[in-house]
């Protein structure tokens, strides 16, 4: 029976399941499938992401996938850690500003000097 269910798995089906959680979850699942040469190799990882929706709420999974996409997270266990640590409800870290990039002075060489 499990084998029959597995035969029903397709990339489109996983995208459809993920879409029910939200756009970010769908995009994360698509990204998972694109990392493998054959999408079938990512099905277990996709199931792992979708099963997190059972343990946590749909809204939290969507927020965790949004954070994962924004921060370059690519693994299921990293998304799970985001949820377990409650990072899905925290604001995203702002990009660090290069405070020295605005300084214009004759004694400062700048990054072009080193390349």
Residue 104 has pLDDT above 90, yes or no: no
Q: Rounded CA gap, 19 and 12, in Å?
A: 10
Tokens of 105: 């002075």
Nearest to 73 by CA among 56, 90, 49: 49
Q: What residues does each domain of the chain span?
A: 2-91
- Please state the φ and ψ torsions of residue 56, each to the nearest 5 degrees: -115, 175
Tens of pLDDT along 21-37? 999 999 999 999 999 88
Is 100's pLDDT higher than 70? no
Q: Which residues contact 111 (CB under 8 A, 6 or more apart)?
A: none
Give the tens place of pLDDT for each residue, 47-58.
999 999 999 999
Task: Decide if pLDDT at 95 tops 90.
Answer: no
Label residue 1 by pLDDT band (50, 70, 90).
Answer: very low
Rounded to two decimals, the pTM is 0.75
């Amino acid at each position: 029976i499990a084998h029959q269910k597995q035969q029903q798995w397709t990339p489109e089906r996983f995208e459809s399941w993920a879409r029910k959680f939200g756009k970010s979850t769908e995009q994360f699942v698509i990204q998972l499938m694109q990392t493998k040469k054959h999408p079938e190799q990512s099905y277990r990882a996709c199931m792992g992401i979708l099963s997190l929706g059972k343990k946590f709420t749909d809204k939290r999974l969507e927020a965790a996938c949004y954070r994962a996409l924004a921060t370059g997270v690519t693994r299921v266990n990293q998304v799970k850690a985001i949820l377990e640590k409650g990072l899905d409800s925290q604001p995203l870290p702002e990009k660090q500003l290069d405070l020295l990039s605005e300084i214009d002075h004759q004694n400062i060489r700048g990054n072009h000097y080193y390349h």
